[in-house]
Structure 1
């Protein structure tokens, strides 16, 4: 690992001892990984400015434990200067990724979705909700908890537009007799299956992601 360059973004960093950071990276090759960046908080370090969120990086890491050492660091593109709602959305993407993605597991497709989300977020971006839902759905897919939107998990019957369904953990959507604050209409599920992100579809996607991610974030 010590001689291999990794494509990476900073998800989070925190002070460590007097002159260092512990940095949580999202890498293309290793997934989420943490490393000690030694000496970067000192006035003489020229690497601190690179360890910023949303900056595409190339890094080299060493060490056999879960907590690696950052040995090399360089920019892999221009720093994205986000402001306003775009900044809040990007910080949310970083936080949710850092909290729910297991460490040390390659997640190349999610890494691509992450980079796409950052590139799409712009100041005054009207499509921010769409971008966030797309990323959350990619995260559900990576975690292996994306439910089937076309089939009742209990009966194996096709989803009916006029019926109501609730998400049962580790099983999927099952029909219920009455609508509730936790239920989805069959129409909503079929919209999700078709990736219909019209306003009703986005609303359903937001509810779904909150429910499905809750066990991971508490």
Structure 2
């Protein structure tokens, strides 16, 4: 007697044509990770299914594992989660594509990543907040900073999940706590070592501040309340985080450019 298939929460990360009327879908599935699944395209008569087979739609899926690839059996809307997420627009949408592309590039298909789905949902929730009309009072500068924070948090936590993360709180060689009054240098993509005070070195106080930013939840309401001094400090810390995480990501992404980054240049 065949085992009944589970219903699992999922998102589509990317699709491409496979065979006649079929798609090869890269999916992020709760408790599983990134999985390649073959499914039939929605027809003109089944526009509801076609609408669901899009990125950033919260889904519940059943799939069957054949020899090699998996086959999609059912696909439905995850109604509970869908009610909590609004459609991504403008820069939030670009950021969503960036998340999807980084996952597809860094996360091996069929490897189990139990915490990847919760991380993705957490990031989507934050991105979708910007699409709500109640947050229209946020100006462009604060919106951009909020998006930067979402992306840097995602990169940092993803690298940690994959075992590629670095510590912003502990020195690499001596395994001592980062000291506010000392200066440090990033050693490849491995971590920080004590360095002399010079233009290329990083102040320990800044590294600890970056660590706090990357590990703390910040709401849109918090951003609205930032005064100019706090805003500039936040922006400076995220600029430092971006330069560090870009080095770490490049080590694993390689030289092939990310297509989603081009969206931000248009």
Q: TM-score range by the shorter chain?
A: 0.7 to 0.9
Quick one: structure 1 residues 177 and 15, their matched pair in 2 at CA, closer, same or farther if it must change by over 3 Å?
same
2:27 to 25, 28, 31: 25
Counterpart among 104, 107, 111 of residue 105 in structure 1: 111
Deviation, 1:164, is 2.4
Question: 1:17/1:35 Cα in 2 relative to 1: closer, same or farther (>3 Å)?
Answer: same
Distance change (3 Å), C-alpha of 1:72 and 1:168 = same
The answer on whether the counterparts of 1:21 and 1:41 sit within 8 Å (CA) in structure 2 is no
Partner Cα distance (2:10, 2:114) in 1: 11
Residue aligning to 1:43? 44
Rounded Cα–Cα distance in structure 1 between residues aligned with 2:210 and 2:116 = 19
How many residues align structurally? 215
Q: CA deviation at 1:76?
A: 0.3
TM-score when normalising by structure 2:
0.72
Higher helix share: 2
| Corresponding residue SS for 2:115 | helix
TM-score where L is the length of structure 1:
0.87
Residue 179 of structure 1 deviates from its aligned partner by: 4.1
- Counterpart of 2:187? 167
| Residue equivalent to 1:134 | 153
| Whole-angstrom distance in 2 between the partners of 1:2 and 1:103 | 23
- Contact kept? 1:188, 1:200, Cα under 8 Å: no
Q: Residue 63 of structure 2 aligns with which residue?
A: 61
Relative distance call for 1:154 and 1:60 in structure 2 (3 A) is same
Q: Partner of 2:74: helix, strand, or coil?
A: strand
SS of structure 1 residue aligned to 2:9: strand
Gaps of 5+ in 2: 217-233, 255-266
2:169 aligned with 1:150, yes or no?
yes
**Using the alignment, how far apart are the partners of 2:104 and 2:67 within structure 1?**
19
Indicate the structure with greater strand content: 1
1:193 aligns with 2:211: yes
Could you give the per-residue CA deviations for residues 129-186 of structure 1, whole angstroms, max 9, x where no partner exists? 11111111111111112212222211333323331221334x42122346465x5332
Closer/same/farther in 2, CA of residues 186 and 45 from structure 1, 3 Å limit:
same
Distance in 2, Cα, partners of 1:217 & 1:26: 19
Q: What SS does structure 1 have at the residue aligned with 2:247?
A: helix
Structure 1 pair 19–36 and aligned structure 2 pair: CA distance change class (3 A) = same
SS of corresponding position for 1:81: coil
CA-to-partner distance for each residue in 1:186-205, whole Å, 9 max, x for gaps?
Answer: 22221133337822221122
Shift of residue 2, structure 1, vs aligned partner: 6.1
